[in-house]
Amino acid sequence: MADRLETPDPGVPQATEAIHIPEPSYLPVWTAFGIMLALVGLILTFVISVIGVIIAIVAIVRWIGLTRSEMADLPLEH
């Protein structure tokens, strides 16, 4: 079985479009961490909630900016 090479079907056309995969990012993790802190802060103290909201907002803004810059780098016909 391993000695047999698979040849592609001649009736199937080759892929002409490149697949865009976004770069890996820790921003979703920071967003979740900020939301978690905001929710825990509701139980413990207001200060933790404020810190969590700030972390979440900064992470979301950076995440949107990163996504917009990646989308701007794509070709127009994509």
pTM greater than the 0.75 cutoff = no
CA-to-CA distance for 34 and 55, rounded, in angstroms? 5
Q: Average pLDDT by consecutive 10-residue portion of the chain (78 residues)?
A: 63 70 90 97 95 97 92 74
CA-to-CA distance for 1 and 40, rounded, in angstroms? 56
Classify residue 77 by its DSSP letter: T
Token reading at 13: 């056309």
Token reading at 70: 């990646």
Whether the CB-CB separation of 20 and 74 falls below 8 Å is answered with yes
CA-to-CA distance for 56 and 69, rounded, in angstroms? 20
